[in-house]
Amino acid sequence: MRDTKGAQRRRRMLYSLDTSRPLLRIGSTGVDWMKRNRGGFEPYTQQNWRVTLRAQTFCEMEGMDGVQAGMPFNCLVISSFSKQWTLLQGWVVAKWIPFWMPFKCSVISSFSTATGWLTRQCTLLQRWDVAKWIPFYQRRKFLLPPRRSIVAVAGLAFCLYVGNVVVASTLLSQRQYLQRRYGITMDKSVAFSYKELAKATDEFSLDNKIGQGCFGSVYYAELRGEKAAIKKMNMQSSKEFLSEMKVLTNVHHLNLVRLIGYCVEGSLFLVYEYIENGNLSQHLHSYQRHPLPWSTRVKIALDSARGLEYIHEYTAPVYIHRDIKSENILIDKNFRGKIADFGITKSIEYGNALYTFPIGTFGYMAPEYTRHGKISPKIDVYAFGVVLFELISGREAIVKTSGYGHETVKLVALFKYVLSQPDPGEYLHRHVDPRLGDDYPFDSVRKLIELADACTQEDPQLRPSMRSIVVSLMSLSSSTED
């Protein structure tokens, strides 16, 4: 069957930019985005992006080649006077597309932000060259026809005005949405726009990346005259995002990391105070760092204990951190400790216990938690005891044995074995961090070992409360300074 003249004209429009002047070019250092001007194309370069350009066929009902049928995509359609960019999750169409390009979409979420993002399930009905793994925040550029330039300028001015109003209302709606839907009051936290966060991190460049966790990446930034750490989380981490928001907007303490603000545009962002000296694990287990003096180790232990005491004893409801470890204790410029990462924190009523599926870090989880999923403040006490053993020995929570193979043993089990000996004193000397040399009071070390042993008792009823741990550490810190 022959095509109509209209179909032939549309096909010419669709493939007129096919091979002669591509909008994407793969280079040795990244991807060159070609921006069109009157003389042809000029490069628009984004470094550190590695993509592959290839052709894929999108079918109406069968999905697309190489991808399972029915696979959901996030699509964004930005209408212009004659052209539009269309992005799919993990894929971006590498051509200019006429605005009438056919789609088959069904809305599965009504969430939208000032950037106009909608979550849909889409199937593209044409064949296009696509580039894989383009970040969703890539800027879209298009050229308006010259005969419409006057209309375009007027339209652009109007859009800028409307955009400012939309951004302001979006920031307000972020605050209202979180308060109404999840009961999170954001009075002391700032609602940032995505544009502001992207600018502060140089579009989330690798040069500003300072950390990577299970739920997202952390970037250094300077926002409104203050140093900050921005955690960028994907939409699949919304549960952890809301958990941190609920805790850090309700509790404020010198030894808990401070939440500055948030953003829910496109991705999920949490903005914290910037802690200069990294985390405790880096200081204890990296030989690139100077060893912490014994008195500093005791102070950091006391600071961390005070933070935990606050969420266990002085908040309603009680908060159980569930992931206390040396990596989640941050060290500020004065070498004081702050508890961080409240992504899996649970709240319970005082004196109660809760049962759930155990999640956390192997080597730090209490026996009753791993076996039965029982949550109480005593599981944080156990994990804190493991951190005390780390402070004493400089070893990680899971220790590699010196025997054949790759056998490991828990640091707790190692110390329990030493303490079970008839005369453990001589053995304990061997398990003190060798980087300390002889520059430590052994009586202080012995007392801290006894406290760590009490914290890691098999029976949670035999473990001390964080309040009594703080008292013990205050006495130990005072004697160490003397």
Q: In this structure, how many other beta carbons lie within 10 angstroms of the beta carbon of residue 392?
A: 25
Q: Are strands 337-339 and 329-331 parallel, antiparallel or unpaired?
A: antiparallel
Reference 265, options 197, 213, 218; nearest CA is: 197
By the 10 Å C-beta count (0-12 exposed, 13-18 middle, 19+ buried), 98 is classed as: exposed
Tell me how far apart the alpha carbons of residues 12 and 5 are, in angstroms, rounded to a whole number: 11
Q: What is the DSSP letter of 191?
A: E
Catalytic, 323? Answer: yes
Reference 385, options 330, 450, 479, 298; nearest CA is: 450
Regarding pTM above 0.85, the answer is no
Which residue in 32, 323, 341, 433 is the catalytic one?
Answer: 323
Q: Tokens standing for 255?
A: 């030894």
Q: What is the pLDDT of residues 439-465, one digit of tens each?
A: 899 999 999 999 999 999 999 999 999
CB 388 within 8 Å of CB 451: yes
Q: Does position 25 have pLDDT exceeding 60, yes or no?
A: no
104 appears as a binding residue in the annotation: no
* The pLDDT of residue 200: 95
Helices (H) and strands (E) in the chain, counts: 12, 26
Tell me how far apart the alpha carbons of residues 223 and 217 are, in angstroms, rounded to a whole number: 18
Instruction: List domains and CATH numbers for the chain.
Output: 17-143 (no CATH), 165-273 (3.30.200.20), 280-481 (1.10.510.10)
Q: What is the DSSP letter of 316?
A: S
Q: What is the pLDDT of residues 249-290, one digit of tens each?
A: 889 999 999 999 999 887 899 999 999 999 999 999 988 889
Reference 428, options 417, 437, 108, 395; nearest CA is: 417
Q: What is the pLDDT of residues 230-252, one digit of tens each?
A: 999 987 788 888 889 889 988 99
